[in-house]
Amino acid sequence: MDFNALINYGRRAMSLEVPFYEQAARDESMTRDALNMVIVVAALNGIGAFLGQLFGLNFIAAFVFLIVQVVLSVALYYVAAYVTQYVGAAMFKGQGTQQQMLRTLGFAHAPQALAVLSFIPCVGGLIALVASIWYLVCGFFAVRTTHRLSDGQAIVTMLVAWLVVMVITVVVLALVGIIIGVPAALLGALSGQ
């Protein structure tokens, strides 16, 4: 994995460079880099959740948060890409392919790397919120560019995908909470999802 290239791709995605999203949609060699971006961001999110729990001296929950955050983030990336692809193509005759959507949405995850700072008292939650909103904006650019949709169509596509991802997230976190005995609301708050 070339971290310098990954950082450059993340910077360009976060800068909302439409030519970058167009390049990512066309360039099949960027598929692995997009997945690497999601994995690195998921790991950073997991580390933020881990540190938040570790500072609270809850070692078992800290480890569980780390694992759940990473696995859930990567799984939800695929769910969001598939739902976004389906909605964009079925509802609005979007022109992008599944692989193009995976690449562009993968790079759109870059702002969520800031959630590694979510453990910081008082401002960590705000940083995670800003990172999530920035991710949604990047996702909008990814969907609009990949599917060649209007702004309104891209927003509807993103909203439908977001709702599906939120339902899946709540169900998974509730199940994890039941299994390990940690309240699902606490898991959800720390996951940044």
Contacts of residue 19, Cβ cutoff 8 Å, sequence gap at least 6: none
- Counts of helices then strands in the chain (DSSP H, E): 8, 0
The answer to whether the CB of 138 falls within 8 A of the CB of 108 is yes
Confidence of residue 80 (pLDDT cuts 50, 70, 90): very high
Q: Which two tokens stand for residue 98?
A: 């599944």
Contacts of residue 13, Cβ cutoff 8 Å, sequence gap at least 6: 20, 21, 24, 37, 107, 108, 110, 138, 142
pLDDT at 98: 94
Average pLDDT over residues 82-91: 93
* % pLDDT > 90, the chain: 62
Confidence of residue 131 (pLDDT cuts 50, 70, 90): very high
Please say if the pLDDT value at position 192 is more than 70.
no
Please say if the pLDDT value at position 152 is more than 90.
yes
Which of these, 136, 190, 141, 142, lies nearest to 165 by C-alpha position?
A: 136
Confidence of residue 2 (pLDDT cuts 50, 70, 90): confident
Query: What's the mean per-residue pLDDT of the chain?
Result: 87
pLDDT at 193: 45
Please say if the pLDDT value at position 109 is more than 90.
yes
Average pLDDT over residues 22-43: 95
Q: Which of 70-79, 97-106, 172-181 has the lowest mean pLDDT?
A: 172-181
pLDDT at 182: 54
pLDDT at 186: 52
The answer to whether the CB of 118 falls within 8 A of the CB of 128 is yes
